Structures are given as C-alpha cells and as structure tokens.
Amino acid sequence: MTSTLTRRYAALFGSAALALSVAACSSETEGDASPASNSSSSSENSSSESSSESSSESSESSQPSGDTLTDSDGTFEVSIPSGYVDAQGQVTGAGAYEVAVAENNPSAAFPTTFIIATVPASGASLDQIAEGARSSVESSLSTTTEDTSPPFSDVDGEDYVAYETGEYSQGGATLKSVQVITIHNDTGYAITLNASTDAVDAAASSFVEFIDSWKWTD
C-alpha cells in the first residue's frame, strides 16, 4: 500500500465523514432546520418561510422509516431506522454518497444524519483505510479520534473498524461523529453518524439499528 493510496482513502472517507454535517450547519445558518437543498442558489434566495414549507414538503415525500434502501450497484441494502427518513435527494453533496438518511425532526437545529460512502480498496487492508480516514478527520477538523466498540460483531459477516471523534465546530454548531469502516469484495465502506453533541447518545441506538439491518446482496 503506497502513501499515495493512503492519502486517497483519507481524502475520500475523511470528507465523507463530515460533508453532510457541513450541509446541515449551512442550513442552520440560513434559518432552515432541515438538511440543505441540492441547489445552493435556491437556499440563498429562499425566505425563512419558504424554507420551512420546503422542509415540510421534503419530509412528507421522503421514504419513511422501515423502508429499505439500496446502493447504486445493488451490493447492499439497509433499512431506514425509526424516526429517520431517506435524505438522498435533500442534502447538499448527497450524490457523492450511496445512501443518506436524516433525523425526521424539522425543529432540530442540526438534524442527525447517517451516510454511507464507498471507495475501491485496491487491495488495501481494513486497517490501512481506517488509518487514512482517521488521519484526515483529525487534521481537517482539528479534533481527536478514539477507538469505539459498537454492540455488533460485524457488518453482515464483514469485519469492521470503528472510531469516534472528539467535539468539533462546524457552522456554529458543536458536533461529534462516529464512523464504521468495513471492506466487502475489495470495496471500502464508510458508515458515518454525524450529530450535535447533545444528540449523539440518543442517536446511537438508531445507528446500531441501521447497521444491524445491513444485508449484502451481491
């Protein structure tokens, strides 16, 4: 594994950890408590009232909890946990991710999000990919990370590495993230929880439910 490839995994998974956090914080700054729209010009030009209406409409049209989401290649499926909705079309930059779900709570200043991103492993080990991702997150957010042990033994049969960040600030909010990284058929998967610090504990059980529902379908 070359240092160049290590940096590539770091950049991809490191940015994946927090991209939806940045989007949600931006919407908070704009007065919209829901995940930001895909159109930045729309966000800039909308009034507070129209943003609230848009948030309500998006929530109503999103897939509800219990529905199953699949990735673009049909490699896995995962169920939306109770209290969350499909956010794939509602979050800035969501097109870069295989799956995105968000807390169905329009009044939340920062909605909790779970996102799944992928990258070709190209023969890299699980530890190598995880090390690169952690290094990138620590550097870009000026925070720390530490190992964590979620209450599940694997991701549908695949080993994983999990870590959580210390507190960090984005868009005026104080946040924490948890990232679970696994490899399946030479593809790396980053499954990330982003939440405000006072919501992390409440989100933990839903995050476990989310990963427990994971099924490889290839």
pLDDT tens, residue by residue, 93-134? 444 678 989 999 888 888 899 989 888 899 999 999 999 888
More confident residue, 205 or 38: 205
Say whether pTM exceeds 0.85. no
Q: Long-range CB contacts (< 8 A, 24+ apart) of 149-157?
A: 150/178, 150/180, 150/207, 150/208, 150/211, 151/208, 152/208, 152/211, 152/212, 155/180, 155/182, 155/184, 155/189, 155/191, 155/211, 155/214, 156/76, 156/214, 156/215, 156/216, 157/216
Among 41-45, 56-60, 119-123, 165-169, name the one with the lowest average pLDDT: 41-45
Sorted by where each starts, the structural domains of the chain and their CATH numbers stand as 3-216 (3.40.1000.10)
- Provide the mean pLDDT of the chain: 75
pLDDT for 186 equals: 95
